[in-house]
Amino acid sequence: MVVDDEPAIVKALERNLRAHGFQVASATTADDARSEFERWRPDAVVLDLGLPGRDGLEVIKAIRARSATPIIILSVRGSDADKVGALDLGADDYLTKPFSVDELLARVRVMLRHVARPRTGTDAVFKTADLAVDLEHRRVTVAGAEVRLTPTEYDLLRAFIANPDKVLTPLMLLRAVWGAEYGSEAHYLHVYVARLRRKLEADAKRPRYLKTEPGVGYRFVAQEEIALSSD
């Protein structure tokens, strides 16, 4: 489903998504978006934040109240606070206008793949490229070689692989790893992410898995498609 108050964008996205085999519903206001969502129950939502009447953030809340449908924010609001706000409310990804159609399509595909094969917590071993995490035995290997992680590092990595390819804000990660009372101690997080990178990445300066989303947070890249499109 595409929600945007700009008819030209809605039209272009509809065309492109249909051309790539998706069925597309669209809405131009927050209220429309909510009723259309109820009617169609889409697999993914591309959502603009600046909607007439109620704000797009309201739509995120409304959708998250009843489903885990992936939401990709597509907005001109480029400030970090806007992005983090939308992600903290439960959006899965964020693209700033103007955007590349290719990148948007790639993100949509990735989101849908995760929906199709929910991996979180069900597989005993998480594998992507040359990284493998044995969740049962808390064993981490890179290209077959075992990597020793401290308990905190391991918890952080597990928080990442529980949400593959999704942008995670510092708030989300801190709460997941350190507990609900944390939220503003982002520097802990930066230190541990740096350590994880040194241990997991072939080149910690140009990470393959743990990418920084500047000003917003981090993204654990599981799928090559994202790794390529966001470079």
Partner 1 sequence: MKRPFVRTASSYLIALAAVAVMSLVIGLILRLIPIGNLSTLYLIAVLAVATRLGRGPAIVSAIAAFVAFDWFFVNPLHEITIADPAEWVSLGVFLITAVITGELAASERARAKIAQRREREALLLYDALRLMADPDLDVALAAVAERVRAEMHVDRAEIDLRIAGTEHEAAAGGIDSPGAVTELLGHGRAPTDTASGQPGRWIRVVPPKTAGPVAAATLARRFEVAVRAAGGTIGHVTLLRDDRGESFTEHQRRLLELIATQLAALAERSELQEVVTRGEVLRRTDELKTALLNAVSHDLRTPLASIIASTGSLRQHDVTWTNEERDDFIEAIEQQAQRLSSIVGNLLDLSRIEAGALKPDKQLHDVSALVDDVVSRMHGTTSRHDLHVQVDPDLPPVAVDEVQIDQVLANLIENATKYAPPGTTIDVTARREGANLQIEVSDRGPGVPASEIEQLFAPFYRASGRRSASGVGLGLAVARGLVEGHGGRIWAGNRPQGGSRFVFTLPYESSPEPVGKR
Could you tell me the two tokens for 129? 């490229």
Sheet holding 210-213, edge to edge: 167-168, 217-220, 210-213
Residue from 19, 65, 116, 145 binding partner 1 (CB under 8 A): 19
Judged by CB under 8 A, the chain residues 64 through 83 that form the site for partner 1 are 76-78
Least distance to partner 1, CB of residue 31, Å: 13
Least distance to partner 1, CB of residue 3, Å: 12
Amino acid identity at 207: P
Please tell me the count of residues contacting partner 1 according to CB under 8 A: 24
**Helix, strand, coil shares, percent, the chain, to 5:** 45, 20, 40
Q: Which is nearer to partner 1, 98 or 179 (CB)?
A: 98
- Phi/psi zone of residue 212: left (φ > 0), alpha (ψ -120 to 50 degrees), beta? beta
Binding mask 100-119 for partner 1 (x = CB under 8 A): xxx-----------------
Q: Which is nearer to partner 1, 8 or 116 (CB)?
A: 8
Question: Nearest 10 degrees: CA dihedral of 81, 102, 5, 27?
Answer: -110
Residues 6+ away with beta carbon under 8 Å from 5: 28, 29, 48, 50, 51, 52
Q: Which is nearer to partner 1, 19 or 116 (CB)?
A: 19
Piece of the chain touching partner 1 by CB under 8 A; list 9-17, 113-121, 167-175, 195-203: 9-17
Examine residue 52 and tell whether it contacts partner 1 (CB under 8 A): yes
Binding mask 83-102 for partner 1 (x = CB under 8 A): --------------xxxxxx
Distance CA 15, CA 188 (A): 45
Distance CA 90, CA 166 (A): 11
Beta bridge partners of 75: 96
Examine residue 215 and tell whether it contacts partner 1 (CB under 8 A): no
Q: Which is nearer to partner 1, 96 or 152 (CB)?
A: 96
Question: Nearest 10 degrees: CA dihedral of 60, 62, 66, 68?
Answer: 0
Least distance to partner 1, CB of residue 51, Å: 6
Residues of this chain that bind partner 1 (CB under 8 A) = 5-6, 8-9, 11-13, 15-16, 19-20, 50-53, 76-78, 97-102
